[in-house]
Structure 1
Amino acid sequence: MNFKVNLYTAIIVLIVGLYDLSYAFNRRQNHSRGNKAFMILGVIFTVAGIALLVMHWMK
């Protein structure tokens, strides 16, 4: 399968995932609701960003 991955896209997805995770951790101290959504999104974006980086390097 010939699938091109842009390096900048992979880095941006990884940054968004890490930002969501940090937002969920900081929000956990002040609010009791809505943390799971940000935590799930952060994990999804972080894993996707790492997968895109690996796909970029494996070409």
Structure 2
Amino acid sequence: MKFEVSLFTAIIVLIVGLYDMAYAFNRRYKNNGRSFGPFMILGIIFTVFGIFLLIRHWMG
């Protein structure tokens, strides 16, 4: 079974991850440091998974 990845999907996942991290970073200053963690964790997960999907797209 071959794992095929669409380039469009990989780029969208990467953009969502970067947006989540930017949102978490900007939210840190508005809420005095609270609610920083969950958005940053999601952003890191989406960014790493987006990079993984891009690598899988180019390799396969």
Q: TM-score, normalised by structure 2?
A: 0.93
Matching residue of 2:38:
37
Runs of at least 5 residues in structure 1 that lack an aligned partner in the other structure: none
Say how many residue pairs are matched: 59
Q: Which residue of 1 aligns with 2:9?
A: 9
| CA drift at 1:12 | 0.3
Q: Matched residue of 1:2: which SS? A: coil
Runs of 4+ in 1 over 6 A off after TM superposition: none
Q: CA RMSD in A?
A: 0.8
What CA deviation, in whole Å up to 9, does each residue of 1:4-26 have, x standing for no partner? 00000000000000000000110
- Measured in 2, the distance between the counterparts of 1:36 and 1:19 equals 14
What is the alpha-carbon distance in structure 2 between the residues aligned to residue 53 and residue 36 of structure 1?
26
Q: Gapped runs of 5+ residues in structure 2?
A: none
Distance in 2 (alpha carbons) for counterparts of 1:33 and 1:26:
11
Counterpart position of 1:19: 19
Q: Distance in 2 between matches of 1:29 and 1:2?
A: 45
Using structure 1 for the length normalisation, give the TM-score: 0.95
